[in-house]
A and B are shown apart, each in its own frame.
Chain A
Amino acid sequence: MSENVVGTQFVGKKSRVFWLALKTGMLTVLTLGFYRFWMKTRLRRWYWSAIRPGGYPLEYVGDPFEKLLGFLIAVVVLAFYIGIVNLLLMFLSYSFFQDNFVAYTASFVGVVPLWFYAQFRSRRYVLARTRWMGLRFGLEPGAWGYAGRALLYWGLTLVSLGILAPLMVFRLEKYITDRTYFGTERMHQGGRWTMLYRPMRPLIISVLMLIVAAVLFVAEQIGPGTGLSVLGMGGLLYGYFAFKVNGLAVLTRHKHLAGCSLEMRPSAGAVLGIYALGYVLATFVIAIPGTALFILLLVVQSPDTAAELSLGTGGWVADQSRWVLVAVSAMLYFSIFLLWSALTHTFVTMPTIKHYARTLTLIEPASLLSITQRPRDAAEQAEGFAEALDVGASI
């Protein structure tokens, strides 16, 4: 830590995270979902410990019981909202509009601010339970302020057809970063929102290509139009990753903590490759139990169709009692979900985090050594609302 620049190591093997995700996933199914608080805690502990900025691992100290408690608090509040409000909306929607569309829309719109609120609370909880070099991270309260700003900037982004997306991304990131602490020291997000247009360039070019392609189609130039639209679609996919990955990198490079600044150089192509390969692989593997389940259901449900497809009507399936068939189907059904979750952890989440971590460096980290501890944030709701509203990814 005495050098001017220190890198970040990532330790941890694919096989370990696969078994951890599979084992905890199985326990989650067996407990009707209640083990998921433990599953999340254990996976986070694993991922955090794998990341070692300057050679010192991060530590996740979250407790599954506080997650369960936070979830129960959220359930009490949300059950009322969802039960009563949805019922009233459905009634009003059918009474006045003869349709349920209005009810679904109103119900969805009503949850949006809560969704942003939940996102901030969840970030606050995770930071409050993350430590490095023995010191806590922290996030100042401000969830409703975040929800208000998120609504405003998302509105601007939608109205401007995405042109103001950099403003939204930057302002929301700054709101969070400027309230983030490591020990007693506040983090600072520097830079300007316009710096995010550079990472957005491939996305803009792809959209322009698609517009030109549309014009070509209208002018009945089918050949060039098709070529350009295929190119534009590919560009759109790459452009999305470029904006996400390079945008994150630019924002990270403008973050400061005490005298230390951060540097991150991830590659959008590499992240896109990880996603493509990971999801193809996961899809391929779950196709095995998926096909088995499909054939089993077909033979049970409509033996005639199965016979036509020469899958056979008798054999093993005909000899089994209904309960055996139900049990086998349920096992296949759950194994699809479990394998999917374990495989995406192993081949998408972990390699992505690994890629980001390895490109992260700390410049002038010596100034961090004098930072001291901050008090504990009880964060009583934990991430209950995020859990109940299903905000964000699996970890």
Chain B
Amino acid sequence: MSTLFRTDIAPEPYEEAAEYLDGHSATPHPVTLRIDELSAKLEIIGEDIRVRWLLTDIREIPDQAGNDMMVLRERGNTLRRVILRNRSLAPRLPYRTRSAPVTNRLRLTGWAFGAVASVALIIFVLVPTMANQLANFIPPEGERALAEATLDQIRSALDETGLQGVRTCTSVDGTAALKKIETRLTSVMPDAPELTVFVLDHGMVNAFTLPGGYLVFFRGLLDNAGSAEQVAAVFAHEMGHVISRDPTRHALRSAGSIGVLGLLFGDFAGGAMVLFLTERLIDAQYSQETESHADTFAQDLLIRAGIAPSALADMFARFRALGPEPTEMEKHFLSHPDLGDRIASARAATPAEFLTEPVLTDREWQALQGICD
């Protein structure tokens, strides 16, 4: 028989003083922590207390401010805590930083779907439907107030000097020429709406309508138009919007949907930007449809007024020549459908051998282009 020597050196026995909170009373119990190496358990021993936690079940409470202590819990038990006033146990806890499992995932998923569905229902169905209905009932003076508020905002937003807003152009001959185009179009309509037409002194190649029959051209559009007929074509298109009260519906709709979107994205850093882009995206979905409607209306009105609808196509072709065709990504954020489709549609609507009766004399056309001088 030889003497037996143990060659494997047992780890230093772990023993530390700590405090134990039993989760039933507010009294902290002084305890001694030991590790039972055989069962890989932490023994918490004090007066009337003998608790054993598997080392693999022990988690440290995360995001603690003090590095001078450890607050420990057992996985699956939410109440009991061990407060150790040093960090000596950290190396012995393999799953110290693992998280506790999440409960009620099913309920959460249900509410998540419910929330998304109800928000979608409100923004895409309820708000547009109500806006469409209510737009027919809003009295004319209400519509005009809505338009004036919006026009003021647009004028000051476009002004680069930031002083008094973009000015409106009102030369006598230019205004008379514009009125002539208006009369040419309205005279062939059974009950023409009352219109207020403005030209804003700004280089943007665009025109738009506001509630209450407000129709606004930018100087840039007159500068870049090839003929008076092209201006008349845009005029007819914008009147399509006036007839279907698109601007009023749009204003009411944004009153409803912007608030809901703001609610959803909250106030996190830069939420305003995400909100803006989302609003544009939703807006574009509505607008592509209304633009097509306005185009169809314009084609019909132009024929009745003795102007070839191809003038609209010529104007769009000029728009396209001015700027690069938008990429697929950009198209989602633009409210106008593909220009190429609209050009083809306007050309197809023009009857063969259609003869346009000139809208303005050369002199009048020059006066219109110089309306801002």
Contact = CB atoms under 8 A, between A and B. Distances in A.
Interface of A: 1, 11-13, 16-17, 20, 25, 28-29, 32-33, 36, 42-43, 45-47, 49-50, 52, 56-57, 59, 61, 63, 65, 68-69, 72-73, 75-76, 78-80, 82-84, 86-91, 94-96, 98-100, 103, 132-135, 182-183, 302, 330, 333-334, 337-338, 341, 368-373, 387-388, 390
A99 B145 contact: yes
Contact of A87 (B25, B62, B134): B134
Contacts of B271: 33
B263 interface: yes
Contact of B126 (A25, A84, A333): A84
B123 interface: yes
Nearest to A48: B65
A69 B139 CA distance: 43
A16 B37 CA distance: 35
Contacts of B143: 94
Given A87-B130, A302-B160, A372-B25, A73 B274 contact: no
Nearest to A11: B66
Given A56-B28, A59-B71, A84-B130, A29 B22 contact: no
A67 to B, nearest CB: 11
Interface in B243-300: 251-253, 255-257, 259-260, 263-271, 273-274
Interface stretch (B107-115, B177-185, B186-194, B214-222): B107-115
Interface in B63-108: 63-66, 68-69, 71, 78-81, 83, 102-105, 107-108
A46 B108 contact: no
The 10 closest A-B pairs by CB, nearest first: A337-B269, A134-B21, A12-B65, A50-B65, A87-B256, A98-B145, A11-B66, A94-B142, A90-B255, A45-B63
Contacts of B61: 45, 49, 59
Nearest to A20: B63
B141 interface: yes
B123 A83 contact: yes
Given A75-B264, A83-B259, A373-B25, A337 B64 contact: no
B28 to A, nearest CB: 6
19 contacts: A11-B65, A16-B65, A29-B270, A33-B271, A79-B115, A80-B118, A80-B122, A84-B122, A87-B252, A87-B255, A90-B252, A91-B138, A94-B145, A98-B145, A99-B149, A133-B27, A333-B273, A369-B27, A388-B263
Nearest to A31: B268
B111 A69 contact: yes
A57 B81 CA distance: 12
Interface string B220-257: 00000000000000000000000000000001110111
B127 A91 contact: no
A72 B114 contact: yes
A52 to B, nearest CB: 8
Contacts of A20: 63
Contacts of B105: 65
A132 B142 CA distance: 59
A381 to B, nearest CB: 11
A180 to B, nearest CB: 15
B146 interface: yes
Contacts of A132: 26
B263 A28 contact: no
B301 to A, nearest CB: 28
A128 to B, nearest CB: 13
Contacts of B81: 59, 134
Contacts of B131: 87
A383 to B, nearest CB: 12
Interface string B45-71: 000000000000000011111101101
B66 A95 contact: no
A280 B65 CA distance: 26
A72 B107 CA distance: 11
B358 interface: no
Nearest to A13: B65
Nearest to B22: A134
A79 B142 contact: no
Contacts of B137: 91, 95
Contacts of A68: 108, 112
Given A65-B102, A99-B145, A133-B26, A83 B257 contact: yes
Contacts of B146: 94, 100
Contacts of A56: 28, 83
A100 B211 CA distance: 14
B303 interface: no
Contacts of A82: 256, 259-260, 263
A287 to B, nearest CB: 17
B24 interface: yes
Contacts of A96: 142
B151 interface: no
B119 interface: yes
Contacts of B78: 61
Contacts of A33: 265-266, 268, 271, 274
B326 interface: no
Contacts of A330: 273
B252 A91 contact: yes
A277 to B, nearest CB: 22
Interface string B182-211: 000000000000000000000000000000
